[in-house]
Chain A
Amino acid sequence: MDILTLLRANIKRKKGTFLGIVLLMILVSMFLTTVYSVKKNVAKSIDEAYEEAHAANLMMNITNERLTDELLQSVKDHPLVDHVATSDAVLMRRHFVKDKEDNQSWLIVPLNEVVTKQFTDDFSGYLDEVRPISPEGIYLVQGIATNDGCKVGDDLRFETRSGEYTLKIEGFVVEPVDGCAMVGWKTVYVAPETFEKLAADVDVVDNPDLAGRVTIVYIYKNADCELSDGEFGRTINRDTCIQDYAYASATMTQMKRYTNLFSEIVCSIMIGFAMVLAGVVLIIMAHNITVTIEMSYTELGILKAEGFTKGRIRVLFVLQYLLAEIVGAIIGTILSIPMISLFGGIFQPITAIIAKKDVDLQTSLVLLLVILILSVLVILLATRKIAKVSPVKALTGESRDVYFESFLTAPVSGKNLAMSLSYRQFSSNKRRYFVAIFITALLMFFMLTVNLMGSCMESKSALQAMGSILCEVQVRPQDRNFTEEEMDEIESIVKAEADVDQSIFFRNEYVTLNGDTIYCQFYRDPEMINMVSGRAPVYDNELVITDILAEDMGLKTGDKVEVSRREFSEEFIISGIFCSMNDTGMTMAMGDAGAKKIGVSGYVWYGASLRDSKDAEKVGNSLKEKLDPEMKIVADADFSAISDIKSITTAVDAMRYTIYAFSIIFVLVVVSMICSKSFTQERRDLGIYKAIGFTSRKLRLLFALRFLIIAVIGSAIGIVLSRLFSSKALSMILRSVGISNFISKYQADTVLVPVIILLGCFFLFAYIAARKVKKVEIRELVIE
């Protein structure tokens, strides 16, 4: 018999196993290729968009009266600088989209030739060219549509001290640098004549820190400059101090990172999951091979008696499984093409750039090759046992013993016949089901981990614990600081109406910390700061930093640092580590005393986190009644309205459902494969059960219950794994968005949904897979 004939015969006979491996491999290769391609496409599209928009290496927003010609000239003359471009803008902090206030600050810019791409109104593609804009119109970026849910045709209202302006959204354009949903300010475009009018009106406003004329400065690195954007920025600032005058600045590297941040996170989780799936395929293969060898001792003995060496038998196994994998890999890669177009757009609401739809064949091939090589190793390991099959032993019918031991074995009880019998079927053959348990545990762990991520994004207390400031009630004065009296009044009004968890007077500004521009938070009451270790910054020379910033800058509690802002430059001591998600965790905070030292005074934002969110409206009404009518008051009990993570939630949900769907398909395949193997082995027992009066339905129920037991054990292990490792894993993954201490909140549905899905699938699929029980005839028992 030659090996190919044997191979063909084997595949035909073990069609189920073969198809199972093919199917799993289709899923794995499709998943891997899709995720890698999407990841690469998003990054590549961002790069290209930046290039096309001629994004500067360094950009800063400087209020006009602070930007002197000398300052600008000193930057232009800097040897590392290629050229500098500027753009006039109006900074606008108070805008209502569809009558709801948007909390980001907008830079209004006259529409210029730098804008080269405009979305179709449904965001599905780009127009051939940018449409002209009317004087009453405004062009926004997609990040605003994502955060505020607005569309073309909606009205937009600006409130300034010089009056109100209403504009109509006429379209959305690509602004790759700040257009994404993750960046806290946005560039928007109006017709030049509208800009002129707006600029002239705003020029008279009295508080230039909050609204007014701004110049956006774009600084381009020399082509031969080898410094990173960050180093370039520090060098320029050291030599010119320009950054100290800016109220906001960012490097291209930073902005790209923000734009791509979320897709990176989702993709890395998905890649992790894909790896697990690939691992599952390997485990199943190994398991299948061991069982096959156990079950076909005789057959293998015959092959050996016929002169097949163990090497050739192993080659047979390798060929058989490898063939299945290759077939699956090819189909999977082909199927990934439609998948990439389907899922390639999933991050667009966040990145605000249409991603390419390319297939990353190269990476995919490398990964598949790695899987194939690992498979060969696994198969060779799993077939080691063949060496032990002796022809004589196998042919004299000395087969495996029934596995039976008292440990873990419970008596079959008359009261719970079905359950106890199923448990016996499981416990007397535990080894076979370890694989299923292990796989269930892994899937459970993954499902729980994404659920934890999702549910924490929806939980106020979890987000707060991780350093997010979430307040149902917010008050802001119009273009000025609160007065002392106002602050006292607001606090007393709010306290009279509701129980307050946190009451915060706040402002923020970018300052320079040891030469780096860092988002700094100023608190009137530094005791409010969410400390991880050390002490809140109460004295005038104290500040706190996040552990992410600490690690990034190599700082620790007790270190002395240099903080500069405009003409101020002071030495501070790090008094502790605090927790904050602002500016993706790259942030510092100080109290009132410290703020005064670097020329910051007064607060522009009040927030109250209520014990009971439902009180928000009551508090809001009371505030509106008693405070100066020009004071801007937001009171919203709806959590999603106060967190800007809506876009994230949708993507997390997409990820969650993908993981659910794949888990279900994997469970289906795993259950049917293990079930059919068990079925072959237990055919005789099934006949006997029927002979003593069991119906097919009851026997199927026993099968289903047995797999339910497996699912229960696997899920329990998965839950334990999740309790042990989910938080750590998520802290690692989410560090890039500023979460370094992920707090897991197990809510009923976090755990219940995956448990129900897994248990239900195991039970149902086993019940379906066991339908062949019907075909077992008692008559088969006589043919011996």
Chain B
Amino acid sequence: MSSNILTAHDLCKSFAHNGGQVHVLQHVDLEIREKDFTVVMGASGSGKSTLLYALSGMDKATSGQVMFEGKDLVKMKEKELASLRSHDFGFIFQQMHLISNLTLLENVAVPGYLNNEKGASEVKARAEKLLEQMGITDVKTHIPSQVSGGEQQRCAIARAIIHEPKLLFADEPTGALNRKNTREVLDLMTDLNRNGQSILMVTHDLRAALRASRLLYLEDGNVIGEMTLPPYDKEEEKSRETQVNAWLSSMKW
């Protein structure tokens, strides 16, 4: 068993809404383990995105702790959080969110330039390599609006890992993609995980959930179920699907 990379304790998040308070996350306790492909599932509105944003420091939790490498994200200042984002975490959005006036290559390279860990030319070479790995070298000088959604998302993945993050977050990365693109993106992520990348992904797509080595189920702001799976193998997809489906039904999915 590998060690924990990120732990949440008593994590709460509420929003002020119409004069009242909406409690989205309610006392969540959770550990994310290194090298795992952790997938959080749950119904729409169960708070998956909220959880992911709170765990990644993209958003501040209302109370509780999120510990990463001995430091509490909830207590961090903007500057520390920014540094965390540019050094230790990577993030993939459902809507890709590439910067509209940068080429794909530049979109990938900018976070690498920003964190100053490697020289500019090294970053650029790595960005080129990642784009090749993602199969979008042909369109690297295009801007996002000139390429397809699948290509955009692959670019977003490359951007998220350009700086070799310790933990990669993904919020429904396939949510905006068609069947073929979904498969390709998931394959890429599975590959990354196989090569040692720790991933925390949120989804309500069964096909995405199948890639997990560990599944969590979120309901009304609480983790209510957990299942560990052997590493994903394409050959055994059918049986894996049955297994996950059974677990999900037990969670009243």
Partner of B120, one of A413, A429, A687: A413
Residues of the A chain whose Cβ atoms lie less than 8 Å from the Cβ of B115: 693
B114 at the interface (CB under 8 A from A): yes
Given contacts A421-B110, A695-B79, contact A784 B95 (CB under 8 A): yes
Shortest distance between the CB of B161 and any CB in chain A (Å): 12
State how many angstroms separate the Cβ of A221 from the closest Cβ of chain B: 74
A606–B83 CA distance with the chains assembled, in angstroms? 76
A78-129 contacts to B (CB < 8 Å): none
A693-B85, A693-B86, A782-B53 known; A417 vs B110 contact (CB < 8 Å): yes
Contact of B120 with A415 in the complex, beta carbons under 8 Å = yes
Contact B98 A688, beta carbon cutoff 8 Å: yes
B102 within 8 A of A: yes
B133 at the interface (CB under 8 A from A): no
Question: In residues 71-123 of chain B, which contact A (Cβ within 8 Å)?
Answer: 78-79, 82-87, 91, 93-95, 97-102, 106, 109-115, 119-121, 123
B228 within 8 A of partner (CB): no
- Cα distance, A693 to B115, chains bound together (Å): 8
**Cβ contact within 8 Å between A696 and B78:** yes
Please tell me if the beta carbons of B59 and A685 are within 8 angstroms of each other in the complex: no
In the assembled complex, how far is the CB of residue B41 from the closest CB belonging to chain A, in whole angstroms? 17
Chain A residue total in the interface (Cβ 8 A)? 35
Say if the beta carbon of B159 comes within 8 Å of chain A.
yes
- Which A731-784 residues have C-beta < 8 A from chain B? 777-779, 781-782, 784
| A421 neighbours in B (Cβ, 8 Å) | 110
Chain A residues with Cβ under 8 A from B145's Cβ?
401-402
Nearest Cβ in chain B — how far from A181, in angstroms? 58
8 A Cβ contacts from B115-173 to A: 115, 119-121, 123-124, 143, 145, 159, 171
Tell me the bound Cα distance from A424 to B97 in angstroms.
Answer: 18
Contact A685 B100 (CB under 8 A): yes
**Complex interface bits, B58-75 against A, C-beta within 8 A gives 1, otherwise 0:** 110000000000000000
Q: Are A412 and B58 in contact (CB under 8 A)?
A: no
Interface residues on B, range: 35 or more
Report whether A402 and B91 are in contact in the complex, using a CB–CB cutoff of 8 Å.
no
Bound complex: CA A402 to CA B110 (Å): 19
**Which of B53, B84, B97, B113 meets A414, CB within 8 Å?**
B113
Contact (Cβ within 8 A) B100 A402:
yes
Contact A779 B53 (CB under 8 A): yes
Q: Are A412 and B106 in contact (CB under 8 A)?
A: yes
Interfacial chain A residues near B49, Cβ < 8 Å? 782
A548 CA to B145 CA in the complex, in Å?
64
Residue from the set A401, A428, A693, A695 with the largest chain B CB neighbour count within 10 Å: A693
Tell me the minimal C-beta distance from A709 to chain B in angstroms: 14
> Separation in Å of the B184 CB from the closest CB of chain A?
23
Give Cα distance in the complex from A777 to B93, angstroms. Answer: 15
Residues of A within 8 A of B124 (CB): 414
Cross-interface CB contact of B83 among A428, A693, A781, cutoff 8 Å? A693
Q: Mark A625-648, 1 if CB is under 8 A from B, else 0.
A: 000000000000000000000000
Measured between alpha carbons, how far is A596 from B163 in the docked complex, in Å?
A: 93
* Complex contact B114–A693 (CB within 8 A): yes
**B101→A402 contact, CB < 8 A:** yes
Report the separation of the CA atoms of residues A425 and B110 in the bound assembly, to the nearest whole angstrom: 14
- Interface of chain A residues 383 through 437 with chain B (CB within 8 A): 401-404, 411-415, 417, 421, 424-425, 428-429
B86 to chain A, nearest CB (A): 3
B100 near A691 with CB under 8 A, answer no
Bound Cα distance A691, B98 (Å): 11
Q: Tell me, yes or no, whether A657 is within 8 Å of chain B by CB.
A: no
Q: For the complex, what is the distance from the CA of A341 to the CA of B119, rounded to whole Å?
A: 63
- Alpha-carbon separation in the docked complex, A108 to B85 (Å): 86
A605 within 8 A of B: no
Q: Which residue of B lies closest to A424 (CB)?
A: B101
The chain A residue with its CB closest to the CB of B100 is A402
A778 to B56, CA, bound (A): 11
CA distance in complex: A781, B58 (Å): 10
Q: Are A411 and B95 in contact (CB under 8 A)?
A: no
Q: Which residues of A contact B123 (CB under 8 A)?
A: 414
Q: Is A692 interfacial (CB-CB < 8 Å)?
A: yes
Q: Is A690 at the interface (CB under 8 A from chain B)?
A: yes
Contact A693 B111, beta carbon cutoff 8 Å: yes
Complex: how many Å from CA A690 to CA B110? 12
**B109 and A781 form a contact (CB under 8 A):** no
Q: Are B78 and A684 in contact (CB under 8 A)?
A: no
A694 on the interface (CB 8 Å rule)?
A: yes
Q: Out of B83, B99, B114, B159, which one reaches A417, CB within 8 Å?
A: B114
Q: Are A781 and B86 in contact (CB under 8 A)?
A: no
Q: Does A689 contact B (CB under 8 A)?
A: yes
Q: How far is the CB of A40 from chain B (nearest CB, A)?
A: 52
Which listed residue, B95, B101, B114, touches A429 by the CB 8 Å rule? B101
Contact across chains for A414 and B112 when beta carbons are under 8 A apart = yes
Which A residues touch B106, using CB under 8 A?
411-412, 424
Per the bound structure, the CA–CA distance linking A784 and B176 in Å amounts to 11
Check B143 against A404 for contact (C-beta < 8 Å).
Answer: yes
What CA separation (Å) do A429 and B112 show in the bound complex? Answer: 25
A694 proximity list for chain B (CB < 8 A): 82, 86, 114
The closest CB in chain A to the CB of B52 belongs to: A782
- Determine whether the beta carbon of A424 is less than 8 Å from that of B102: yes
* CB nearest to A687 among chain B residues: B97
Query: Residue on A with the closest CB to B172?
Result: A782
Q: Which residues of B contact A412 (CB under 8 A)?
A: 102, 106, 109-110, 113
- Could you tell me the distance between the alpha carbons of A428 and B101 in the complex, rounded to whole angstroms? 6
Q: Who on chain A is nearest to B53 by CB?
A: A779
Interchain nearest-CB distance for A409 vs B (Å): 9
Complex contacts, A688 vs chain B, CB 8 Å:
97-99
Contact in complex: A692, B100 (CB < 8 Å)? no
Contact B93 A692 (CB under 8 A): no
Q: How far is the CA of A684 from the CA of B85 in the complex (A)?
A: 17
Nearest Cβ on chain B to A699's Cβ, whole angstroms: 10
Question: How long is the Cα–Cα vector from A695 to B76 in the complex, in angstroms?
Answer: 13
Q: Which residue of A402, A411, A784 is within 8 Å of B143 (Cβ)?
A: A402
Most B Cβ at <10 Å: residue of A417, A697, A782: A782
Q: Which residue of chain B has the shortest Cβ distance to A774 in the bound complex?
A: B78
Min C-beta distance of A443 to chain B, whole Å: 28
Q: Which residue of A lies closest to B113 (CB)?
A: A414
Which residues of B sit under 8 angstroms from A782, Cβ to Cβ? 49, 53, 93-94, 171
| Docked pose: A395 CA to B205 CA in angstroms | 30
Closest-by-CB residue of B relative to A426 is B101
- Bitwise, B178-198 to A at CB < 8 A (1) or not (0) is 000000000000000000000
Q: Is the CB of A693 within 8 A of B82?
A: yes
A688 to B106, CA, bound (A): 14
Smallest CB separation, B142 vs chain A (Å): 9
* CB-defined contacts of A428 to chain B, threshold 8 Å: 101
Residues of B within 8 A of A693 (CB): 82-87, 111, 114-115
Within the complex, the shortest CB–CB distance from A408 to chain B, in Å, comes to: 13
B contact residues around A689 at 8 Å (CB): 99
Beta-carbon contact of B143 and A779 below 8 Å: no
Assuming the A-B contacts A414-B120, A414-B124, A424-B101, are A691 and B113 also in contact, with contact meaning beta carbons closer than 8 angstroms in the complex?
no
With CB as the reference atom, state the residue of chain B lying closest to A413: B120
What is the bound-complex CA distance between A483 and B87, given in angstroms?
A: 91
Residues in B neighbouring A417, C-beta threshold 8 A: 110, 113-114
A698 to B114, CA, bound (A): 10
Residues of A close to B53: CB separation below 8 A: 778-779, 782
On whether the beta carbons of B114 and A692 are closer than 8 Å, the reply is: yes
CA distance A424 to B106 in the complex (A): 11
Bound CA span A403–B78, Å: 32
Residue numbers in A under 8 Å from B110 (CB-CB): 412, 417, 421, 692
Q: Which residues of A contact B (CB under 8 A)?
A: 401-404, 411-415, 417, 421, 424-425, 428-429, 684-685, 687-698, 777-779, 781-782, 784
Contacts A414-B119, A414-B123, A692-B159 supplied; 10 other A-B pairs, CB < 8 Å: A412-B113, A414-B112, A687-B97, A691-B58, A692-B111, A693-B111, A777-B59, A778-B59, A779-B53, A781-B97
- Listed by A's residue number, 5 A-B pairs whose Cβ atoms lie within 8 Å are A412-B106, A689-B99, A692-B159, A782-B93, A782-B94
* Nearest 7 A/B pairs, CB to CB: A693-B86, A414-B120, A428-B101, A414-B113, A693-B85, A778-B58, A692-B111
